[in-house]
Each structure stands twice: as C-alpha cells, then as structure tokens.
Structure 1
Amino acid sequence: MTTNHTGTSKMNILLTGGRAPATLDLARIFATAGHHVYVAESVHHHLCRVSNSVIKSFQVAKPNEQPEAYIRDLQNIVHQYEIDMLIPTCEEIFHISKHITSFITGCKIFSEPIERLDILHHKWKFIKLVQEMGFDVPETRLIHTSQEMKALGETGFFNKQTILKPVYSRFASRIQMIHPSRSQRSNDKVITEVGRSLSPSHPWIAQRFIHGQVLCSYSVIHDGKVMAHCAYKSDFTAGRGASIYFEFVDHPELLHWVEQFVQRYQSNGQIAFDFIQTADGTLYPLECNPRATSGIHLFRPQDNLDLAFVGPHLLSTNSLPLTPSSNSTAMLKLAMLSFGVVSNLGPHKLRMWYQAYKRSRDVVYSAIDPHPFREQFRILQETRRVSRKYSISMLEASTHDIEWNGD
C-alpha cells in the first residue's frame, strides 16, 4: 500500500451525503491528501457527483423509504471497491449506525451505534444528559400531549419567552416561539397549533429562550479525545437556523466545554453543538448534531483535517486539536447573494453583509473543480419538485429522503 504526503497509507474512502457542501469540502480535503474518494447518494443530482475529487459516485436506495436496500447498496460498494473507511456526513448516519456491525471487518464505519447517537440527536435526551453531567442548560420541559401543553401553561412557564420544537428536527424549520410581548391571541394560536402536532411518539420540548451570542462548534473525536475542532459564529442564515456564512472564532472556553463533554461520554466520530453564550460568559448548549456540519468549511487542505479521521496516531498530543487558520471565513455564495437581495437590511447590517461577502471564499466553487457550482442549479430544481410534491419547505425537502426521527 502506498503512502501520501502526510505519511499515511492511501485509503479508499466512501462518503455518504454527497448533497451537502460539507461533504464536498471533505471530499476535496481527502483527495488533496492523496486518498481515493467515492460517494454514495440517494438523490440523482448532488454536489459530489460531478466533483473532480471523487473517483466514482453511486446512486443508492433512499434510506428512509428502503432502509434494507440502502444498506445492501452500501455493503456492495464497500465490498466491490475495497473501501477502508465509510464516513457518513448527514442524517443518513442514523440509518447506517443501526447496521454498523453488518459491514465487512476490514471497513471502519466512522460512527457510533444508534443507541448512543440517538441520545445526542434527541433534543430532550441530550439536554438531560448534559444536565446530569453538571453543565448549565436552558430550562426545558418535555411535552407529549396538548393536555401537558395546557398544564405547562397553567404553571406560568409561557409567561417568559419560550422556544417550542420537536425532539427530532433540523434547520430550526419547525420552531415556534411564544413571546410575552405578543398578543395572548397570537400565543394561544401557537400553543394550539403545536398541541395538534403532539403525540406520545412525537413529543416536543419547551425551552426557555436565552439571550446572547449564537455559537457553533464542530469536532472530530477519537476515544473521547478531540482530534480536530473549530468554533464559529454565523451572522447570516437561511431562515431561522441554516447558516450560510461561517466565521472562525478562537474560543478556549467553548473548546474546554467540548473536551469535558466528549471525555465524559467517551465519544467517537464527528460531533457538533449549538450554543448560546450570555453576557456573563455562560455557555448554554441548545442541541447536538453527531455528524458532519458546516464547521468543515473553515478547514483548508493544509490544516490536515484528514489526519483526524485516518491518522490520529500520527498527531502529536502537543498539536491537538487541529484547528483552522485564525482568520478563516467561508460562505455559500448563492445563498449569501439571495440573502443580500431579498432581506431588508439596515445600513449597519448591510455593511456587515458586504464585508462578510467580500472576504469569504465560496465553499462550492473551485477553479480546479468548477462543476459542483453548476450542479447547484440542478439540485435546486430537484429540491423544488420535492417541496411541491410533499408541501414542505425547500430546506425540509433538501433532506426529505434521509431524515431520521427515531424510527
């Protein structure tokens, strides 16, 4: 087996979730390091399909419609192409982790078993876990029925600003807000609408709104130790939750929080957190994504992020964790342009947007790998068809076939 420029053996790596810009960046990082990158996706058009960094792309079954066929497709690729490592990047990780022991011994699945991932992905279970570890958390309640919702209101919980969201959700696409400054009629309408969505099998949480700075983190973990890490903020989002601009922040306190958590949980794989930091410096974790997230965009090939996955034994303890350059920024260019055009930005926000746009690289376009940029328009058309077919938002449509809601 030959070696690459970092001294690690060249590996055959299979990525899933090729639709995600983070997966495209990861493919480019691995390819630059000399590895052979393959991608499996359940949609026809996706960013990695046309990337020069990918040797071959495979269209596979939809994981939440044909879960057994999906796993068989992946197993066949692993066997035929002698895959050394399979790295899930999006919510298909939950479908894969249910069958983590069914893959051939020679292929490492960069994931934990579903039982451990579910605790992190489930918004109530995660908050309870963090609280039991002794960390500060927002005041949070689990609600199964409209009767429980009504009873919680009678305790006065909704007299303060409150966030309502399903225990399984993404992109903040279903978040509802109760705000004392609104009319009682408006708040009652929210309570009624959420009440209709509640059931013992599909509960929501009510979480006290915390004022402060929104911060995100992304880390690669081996045996409870942080191999690579970045913290970042986003001043621009698509809707309430999906970030379209990413700016690295040097935040030792946040890193310390992550290090404590993953050491206590003995985590492995990729893990990401959303936080609110209050004016007094307190970090409140809101939710966890035990998978790849947009923090990958802040790493460049020279940062050797690939070693956190395939060569952690080569990393000196003194050099850990690997981090991006201190001035690293990135953006989804088309989304940022749309945001700047359709948003009613005041002078201050407009200046912020212009400076962010001017100094940031587009995570999709690359002069030596230009085809994914054009692929975005095909993806947009396909996503719009799914959105119309199921009467869901474009964001929800983008992950409709891979969502995992505890099934």
Structure 2
Amino acid sequence: MPKRQPTSQRKLNVLLSNGRFPVTLDLARQLRTAGHKVFVADCMHYHVCKFSNVVTRSFHTPSPREDAEGYVAGIVDAIRNANIDIVIPMHEEILYLAEVAQSNDLLRSRLLAPPFQTLVMLHNKWEFSRFLTQNGLGVPNTVLCRNYEDVQALDKSIEWALKPGYGRASMSVFHLRPGKPLPAPDEIGISEDVHYVAQEWTPGQRYCTYSVLQSGKVTALGAYPVKDTIDVHMLVTPALFLGSSCVYFEVIEKPEIRAFVDRLAAHLPGVSGQFALDLVERQDGVFVAIECNPRATSGIHLFSGTSRLALALTCRLPSDNLPVDDMPDHVGPPKRAKRKVAPGMLMWKRSNEDGSTKAIVKEYMGHMKRLVASRDVIWSWRDLMPSIMQPFLLTSYDEIYREKGLELPTMFQYDLVWEPRIEHLRECNAVEGNTIETFRAM
C-alpha cells in the first residue's frame, strides 16, 4: 500500500469563509503561491476576491447574521461541490460554523477552528481576562459591569475603557476620564443580558499579533506595532470611540511577544486555529493583553508574497493526527516586511494629542515615509482585476450601505458579525457568577 503523502506536500482545495476583505485576497494569493486551489464564499454578490485570478470559484451564500442556518448550509454545499479539504474562517462567521460543527462531522473534519466553547471564551472579553489571570498572563485591571449602576460604581480616579463583552475592531468603546461625565445609560446599551467590561486605560506601545496553532503548537507567528490607523468617531459624544483599523503593517520581532503567545498556547493544549492578540507594552516593560480575536486578522499581510503562512495553515488537516514534531515551528514573516492598505493610508489623519507644529510635522513625515516605502496589499501586477474593479466595488458598497442605513465600516462587516443569542449570553453570564469581580493587572 503506497505511503500517504504528507499534508504539507499535498495540493489542497481550500475554502475561505468570506471574500470581501483585503486580508482574504492576500491569503488567497499566498495559498495559490503554495500551489493550493482557492475557493471563497460570501453573501455579497460582488467582492474583491470575485475578480481575482487566484480564486477558482466564488460561492454565493445567505448572510450568516440574518440566516445562519442558510449560510452554514451554503458552506457545506461548497465543501461537497468543490471537494474542499480545509475551511479557513476569515471573520466572525467562524462562530456560526464552529457551533454547527459540534454536530456536523463533514464540517468538523474540515474546519480550522477551536471548539465552539473555547471560541466563545476567547471572544468574550471578560472570560478572556479571567482565563489570562488564572494562567498567570498579564491583563489590565478589569471590572465586569452588568448594569449601569456598576458603571457608576467604577473608581472615578482611574481612566477606563468601557466596551461590550462581545465586540470587535475597538468598536463602541467608551473612554471614561476622571472628572468627565459618564455617558447616558441609553448611549451605552448595557442590560441584564448585554454585559460590558471596564479595563483600566493602559498607556504604552500597542502591538497586534497573529499566530496559527496546530494541536496546541505555534506553527506561525507575526507581530506589528500599531502606527497608522483610521478611526471613526460619533460627533454627539466625544467619549464614544466607534472603531479603529490599522492600515500599515511592519513586522517586528520581540522575544517578550513570542513568550506571551507561547504561554497562551501552552494553556490551549490540542487546540488548532488562528489567534490574534492586542497587546500593550506598559512603561514598566510588562506586556498585557487587551483582547483576543480567535480568527484571521490583518497580521496575515505580514506574510504577503510568500508561502510561509500557507504551509503553517495547511501542514495538517483538522481530521489528521499528525505528530506535533512534524509540523512547522514559529514560521515568521520575511525580515523588514512592510505592507499598507493604500486607500486607508490616504484617509489617515494625525492623532497625536501634542498640538505643537514640531510634533505635527514629525508625525506627518513619518506617515508619508511609510506610505511611500511599503507595498499595497491589493495591488499586484499578476492579479490586476481586484485593483481595477475598486471603483465598481465602491459603487456596489455604496448601494448596500444606503439600502441598509449603515455607515460604510459597519456595513462591511455587518453580515459577518456574530451576535450571541440569549441562551449564549445567559450561559456565559451564569459562569460569571453573582457578584462583581475585579481582576488586577499582573
């Protein structure tokens, strides 16, 4: 009987769970560079991956947020129709897929994701803080707020970041400052079922990490400092910070970041998936984790133009029992990797609170240097159509967000966002206990 070819040498049929993000296009190109056949699925009729020559086929599905059952059925149909070997989730649709995978053997044997309960724990900011604290990993002072009275009871001498237990991209974060009035109850939207967490505002250098775990082993790791971001603010209340997205990615190697990720992985034995951390290096040199995104993130851009990440993601299939010693170990991005989202870089505005002319000029010149010296994540001479079709796609997006009455950044991820059902919230809230708890920074 012939020996089975190692997964790393096989050419796989890979399904990416949405096709609308630049990071999906980037990963599709990386997988194609590694020789794999790439498919995507999305509820948008037109998206950036639909026009890419590295994508074999785009499947149209219902919206997971509006029709979760239909979306999962569409993914299962795609698996059967295209003989998919592995499904790599790209955003919060991972939670819809992982929940069904608990009872669906076909999906479970192909989905690169942690078990559903582990996903929910990592995605929930309060539970993730508890998990870090219990395992000796750094986390800011964190308080669970179950109602507006809990918000009013916060220490008024401390700066806080008040955010939903389930959130993403720094959206709906309230910056509470000493001496400033609290947002009104109807602004926050806290309730018996929708809890918030208050994290002590932590000054310091922010970093984003992206890693791949296979059976608990770190097979890939990249990190970048947060430099250029585009932000959305609500004018009616300066305390509310609606969202923040990085648009510049420059690789950095810090032993402390690798050690933090390794310690996290050590407490997730046997778990496979993609994991992204938002870290802050405090002024005393200690690293603390603000939150975790257990899915694909923009850290994938650090690996652009290579097959390194593709190897780490496909070195084993979810159904394989490959020994960890046979897997890649801490595959990293190329040295001095620099990538940008060009439209986002052009939309950038200075954020330095120092209003001096010297500070403004220095920050602006640094931004321009990064803009000129880095490569765009969408543009490629070998795959021109995603860039050429940008005006058409923007017109299509404009029609969608006007029809739905949403802001463009919100619309872009609206269909994919996982909103926990009441039973999810109550199950998680039951774990939280009956009294307010506080976790102190390590």
- TM-score of the aligned structures, taking structure 1 as reference length: 0.90
Higher relative contact order (CA 8 A, sep 6+): 2
Partner of 1:257: 260
Change (3 A) 1:194 1:130: farther
Match status 1:205 vs 2:206: no
Q: Find runs of 4+ consecutive structure 1 residues off by over 4 angstroms.
A: 312-319, 340-345
Task: Tell me the secondary structure at the aligned position of residue 335 of structure 1.
Answer: helix
Equivalences for residues 206-355 of structure 1 within 5 A: 206-239=198-231, 240-266=243-269, 267-311=271-315, 320-339=329-348, 346-355=360-369
Match of 1:135 among 109, 134, 137: 137
Match status 1:68 vs 2:77: no
Pairwise CA distance, 1:392: 3.7
Contact 1:298 1:330 in 2 (8 A): yes
Contact 2:350 2:364 in 1 (8 A): no
Partner of 1:125: 127
Pairwise CA distance, 1:301: 4.0
Equivalences for residues 142-153 of structure 1 within 5 A: 142-150=144-152, 152-153=153-154
Partner of 1:45: 46
Pairwise CA distance, 1:318: 10
Partner of 2:116: 114
The whole-number CA distance in structure 1 between the counterparts of 2:137 and 2:199 is 16
The whole-number CA distance in structure 1 between the counterparts of 2:191 and 2:229 is 30
Contact 1:303 1:323 in 2 (8 A): no
Pairwise CA distance, 1:342: 11
Partner of 2:159: 161
- What 5-or-longer segments of structure 2 have no aligned partner? 232-242, 317-321, 422-442
Deviations 1:93-116 (A, max 9, x none): 111111114152795211122211
The whole-number CA distance in structure 2 between the counterparts of 1:288 and 1:106 is 23
The whole-number CA distance in structure 2 between the counterparts of 1:315 and 1:136 is 27
Partner of 2:79: 78
Return the letter of the residue paired with 1:29: Q
Aligned residues between the structures: 396
The whole-number CA distance in structure 2 between the counterparts of 1:366 and 1:301 is 10
Change (3 A) 1:224 1:329: same
Change (3 A) 1:323 1:167: same
Contact 1:387 1:397 in 2 (8 A): yes
Task: Tell me the secondary structure at the aligned position of residue 206 of structure 1.
Answer: strand
What is the aligned-residue identity percentage?
30
- What 5-or-longer segments of structure 1 have no aligned partner? none
Partner of 1:394: 408
Pairwise CA distance, 1:276: 0.7
Return the letter of the residue paired with 1:328: A
Change (3 A) 1:256 1:41: same
- TM-score of the aligned structures, taking structure 2 as reference length: 0.84
Pairwise CA distance, 1:72: 1.1
The whole-number CA distance in structure 1 between the counterparts of 2:245 and 2:107 is 37
